[in-house]
Amino acid sequence: MRVQRKARLRPWVWGGVSVLVVAAAVWLGVQRGVGAQPVAPAAAPAPSAPALVTGLPDFTVLVDKVGPSVVNIRTVERVARAPQSDVDEQMREFFRRFGIPLPPEVAPRGPRDPRGEAERIQRGVGSGFVYSADGFILTNAHVVEGADELIVTLNDKREFKARVVGADRRTDVALVKIDAQGLPPVRIGDVERLKVGEWVVAIGSPFGLDNTVTAGIVSAKQRETGDFLPFIQTDVAINPGNSGGPLINMRGEVVGINSQIYSRSGGFMGISFAIPIDEAVRVAEQLRQFGKVTRGRIGVAIEPVSKEVAEAVGLSGTQGALVRGVEDGSPAAKAGIEPGDVILRFDGKPVEKSIDLPRIVGATKPGTRVPVEIWRRGASRTLTVTVGALEEEAVAAAEAPRSAQAAPLGLTVRELSAAERRELKVEGGVRVTEVSGAAASAGVQPGDVVVGVGNQRVSNVRDFERALNEVPKGRPVGLLIRRGDWAQWVLVRP
């Protein structure tokens, strides 16, 4: 009973206290109302900033929308081997009798063709996506390279034999055609709107696993890994077989073609690269119309403008592309561009970095006359260049310079003979016989002909030594050299 009473008493006591508190509050309120000043209400708490991330994205709608446009591409390459000899057959019989596994060198090599040669079939797998409803497919050039047969499998499991319309190895873009109509093409996105940190999705066939979806974010843009392309870097899981598949933004638009990975093991390591879709579409349209890509060229060898180079030529910043060499008879040579010039603008477009120039020139139609702003001897001037056509280049490997004791700057030079002057079509200069030290680091090679030091022409060894003596000690020296048909400007740092 006591426990029950105590239990009933506690609410009553608290209730009585509550009544007294309320009554006191009313009495104080009346007293304040009689003569006291009103109390200002407490300030409302400042609203908190909206959350930057409200939740993880849901990719299901996006995958349902874009998935039907993604295709699997299987490649077949047939390689003929030499005819199998009777010795191979005898060796196989020997191993079979004693129950020993056949070593690779005597194992059967595949079916024989009518000529008696063994045939080996190599198979590859890649991805792609529908570019247009009438059967054009976009993928990577390295996916279809060397293939004797292409088989495209659609999302609905239909299979088609495909043909390569064209492939561009420089950008790693290929256009493939299948005989089909009414296909669901992808929507092309705007790469300019793509932001670092934005969610993106890849759909492809890694290791042959069709319609595999992986997701991540854009890690960087304008990543310099190609001659003609600034890649999109992501952390989307990309593996062998994903090549050629689409990179998709959250609006269901394709913003890139998955092309490369950075890996030390051959597998995914968190860094993937995609070809920007605007560049891929530009290439695809040329492949569709002409079967190949035509690019402009002007015939210059360039390098970045370092701080030292900018100071040497009198530039206030490191913008532009330093012309290191000019091909003899090239559009640049005909326009008057010289080694040592810095190209600041091409066809009105600024050249912020040296890598910008080949992209701008490459996108210019051959035969077009364009203005080129250059920086030469402390002042800017504008020349007019007629852009040529870029052909497939055969790049020769440069020979390593020999190491030997050398004259100032690490060079040993000699006079040119009359025959050498006629052969090189130069009025003067000195030939490099040995190179080491700073000159070797700058890329000077034995056999090069020095025709200028700083802003002075060099006709012989005496001119060469006199020009060097006029350069302040410790300062970089600009050398104008001839190498074959090319004139090159080299900055040697003592």
Is 69 within any annotated ligand binding site? no
Provide the 8-state DSSP code for 112.
B
Which residue of the set 88, 132, 142, 235 is catalytic? 142
Look up 354 and say whether it is catalytic.
Answer: no
Contacts of 333 (CB under 8 A, 6+ apart): 299, 326, 327
Element (H, E) at 115: none
Which of 172, 341, 356, 448 is labelled catalytic?
172
Measured CA to CA in angstroms, residue 185 lies from 130, 138, 239, 250, 254 at distances of: 5, 10, 24, 17, 10
Annotation-wise, does 239 bind a ligand? no
Question: How many angstroms from the chain centroid is the CA of residue 467?
Answer: 42
Residue 243 a catalytic site member: yes
Mapped to the 3 state alphabet, what secondary structure does 151-199 carry?
EEECCCCCEEEEEEEEEECCCCEEEEECCCCCCCCCEECCHHHCCCCCE
Quickly list H helices, 236-363: 277-290, 307-313, 331-335, 356-362
Residue 142 annotated in ligand binding: yes
Return the HEC string of 374-435.
EEECCEEEEEEEECEECCCCCCCCCCCCCCCCCEHHHEEEEECCHHHHHHHCCCCCEEEEEE
Rounded to 5°, the CA angle 473-479-480 comes to 160
CA 213 to chain centre: 23
Catalytic residue among 69, 127, 243, 259: 243
- Neighbouring CB atoms inside 10 A of 45's CB total 6
Catalytic annotation, residues: 142, 172, 243
Which residues line the annotated binding site for substrate?
142, 172, 241-243
Residues within the annotated binding site?
142, 172, 241-243
